């Protein structure tokens, strides 16, 4: 199951601190979380991998000067693209896991705890390597692309952020609307969560 950006906010905060822009890393991670609300990671279906994408997008944005025109828009765009590619990388990892399981089929059928633990650890390490490699390659490839795009960007930062915020809010609202019609007491839970979150913003 992929790690949603919200679960990566602490790493993004630390990454932003290293790059001198804590708020920037958190802002992009929270924005991608709104897009990730539409993702339903079920079974063997292909879905975007938001964990690596959030780190890439957060790093790209945090590395830019404050209020750089187009920085947030491009960071989110590149993050969505990375999540899409990450979905395919997860399919490749599943195929590898299946191959490794078939090679240990006799041991698994006999109930070998060592075979089960070995497969779990192998899959865990492979997923760690996959995520690290995807993050490293994506950041290395997209960082110069972002610098080039920002050098020719003509739209002001306020308008660019408004577009990103509007799109993210629309996707999140559509995901929540579907939950209202499919999950019992979803509306009540949403209202309670909204009330608690608003209270924290006002009084914290």
The conformational region for residue 10 under phi > 0 = left, psi -120 to 50 = alpha, else beta, is alpha
pTM for the model:
0.77
| pLDDT given for residue 5 in this prediction | 44
Domain boundaries defined on the chain: 5-203
Output 72 or 38, whichever has higher pLDDT. 72
Please write the tens of the pLDDT for every residue from 154-177. Answer: 777 778 888 888 888 888 888 878
Task: Report the pLDDT value the prediction gives residue 43, as an integer from 0 to 100.
Answer: 63
Burial of 153 (0-12, 13-18, 19+ CB in 10 A): middle
For residues 53 and 188, give the distance between their C-alpha atoms in angstroms, rounded to a whole number.
31
Q: Give the lowest-confidence range in 60-74, 81-95, 118-132.
A: 60-74
Q: How many CB atoms lie within 10 A of CB 115?
A: 18
Note the pLDDT of residue 66.
67
């Amino acid at each position: 199951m992929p790690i949603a950006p919200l679960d990566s906010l602490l790493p993004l905060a630390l990454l932003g601190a290293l790059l001198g822009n804590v708020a920037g890393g958190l802002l992009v991670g929270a924005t991608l979380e709104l897009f990730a609300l539409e993702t339903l990671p079920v079974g063997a279906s292909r879905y975007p991998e938001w964990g690596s994408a959030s780190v890439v997008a957060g790093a790209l944005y945090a590395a830019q000067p404050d209020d750089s025109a187009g920085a947030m828009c491009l960071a989110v765009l590149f993050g969505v693209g990375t999540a899409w590619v990450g979905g395919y990388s997860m399919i490749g990892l599943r195929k590898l896991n299946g191959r490794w399981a078939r090679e240990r089929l006799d041991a698994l059928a006999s109930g070998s705890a060592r075979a089960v633990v070995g497969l779990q650890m192998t899959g865990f390490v492979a997923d760690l390597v996959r995520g690290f490699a995807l993050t490293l390659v994506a950041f290395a490839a997209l960082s110069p692309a972002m610098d080039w795009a920002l050098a020719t960007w003509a739209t002001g930062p306020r308008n660019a952020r408004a577009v990103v915020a509007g799109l993210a809010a629309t996707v999140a609202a559509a995901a929540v609307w579907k939950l209202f019609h499919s999950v019992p007491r979803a509306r009540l839970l949403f209202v309670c969560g909204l009330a608690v979150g608003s209270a924290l913003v006002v009084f914290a």
